[in-house]
Amino acid sequence: MADIRAVDIDAVVFDILGTLVDEPGGLRAEIRDALSASGGGPDGGSDDSVDELLAVWQRHVESEQRRIGQRERAYADSEVIDREAAGRVADRAGLTDPAAIERLATASRRLPAWGDSAAGLERLARRFPVLGLSNAAHLTLLHLNAYAGLRWHQVLSGEAVLAYKPAPEVYGLAVDTAGCPPERVLMVAAHAWDLRGARARGMRTAYVRRPVGDPPTDADAFDGRFDGLEDLVNTLTAR
């Protein structure tokens, strides 16, 4: 389902974590590596234990970003919050190797791209200005984009406005950078909560399905829903 025409779009903005890179899969692999480097953890690093530790990480990140959004905590960038999450995972797993814990703290810099991400960005970039918009810190994005092979006309972090999506000022950053009315900026994400925030800011919205993410409900009036990035790219580049 799509109600998007290329003629109506002046710029395309992508969420990155989960939409273009496999964030849970990458973090899961990094946690497993940390357990292995420290002797496998108390139960040898089983799938269940790794999933449990991933949940510890995710709960901390979500909680702290929410606290910042509710002004219960001063802004801290994702590098700080990831380091806190790594410490919680280490404490839960009984990890004591400083080198393994330090590497785990930078896990978000090494997340693998989905198989269609790099090629999809390249195709779209021949037709539109393409921007990344992420809750990840500037430093994280510097390393992540290189690791995952993502190429942008410009990549933006909520760090620039000291906020995390879905705060409206983060989407405003993308609209201001694009330099055109919000209704001519298309926000692409695998997370319905992200697209709801963009839509509230007046942006056009496109959901791209990924194995991870937050699927839309029947009540979500997004401009397009696509089974994969290739479907979106084909729609926007069709002559």
CATH number, residue 45 = 1.10.150
Coil, helix or strand at residue 234: helix
The DSSP element (H or E) to which 138 belongs, if any, is: helix 138-148
- Give the CA radius of gyration of the chain: 18
Q: 29 lies in a domain? A: yes
Asked whether residue 70 falls in the same domain as residue 142, the answer is no
Of 59, 78, 109, the last residue of a domain is 109
Q: What is the mean pLDDT of the chain?
A: 94
Coil, helix or strand at residue 224: strand
Round to whole Å and give the CA distance between 192 and 70: 20
Q: Structural domain tally of the chain? A: 2
User: Is the pLDDT score of 232 beyond 90?
Assistant: yes
| 41-54 tens-digit pLDDT | 444 556 679 999 99
Residue 204, strand partner residues = 186
CATH of residue 231's domain is 3.40.50.1000
Asked whether residue 150 falls in the same domain as residue 215, the answer is yes
The more confidently predicted of residues 238 and 28 is 28
Asked whether residue 154 falls in the same domain as residue 206, the answer is yes
- Name the pLDDT band for 2 (thresholds 50, 70, 90): low
CB 128 within 8 A of CB 10: yes
Round to whole Å and give the CA distance between 213 and 137: 20
Range of the domain at 138: 6-22+111-237
Asked whether residue 121 falls in the same domain as residue 88, the answer is no
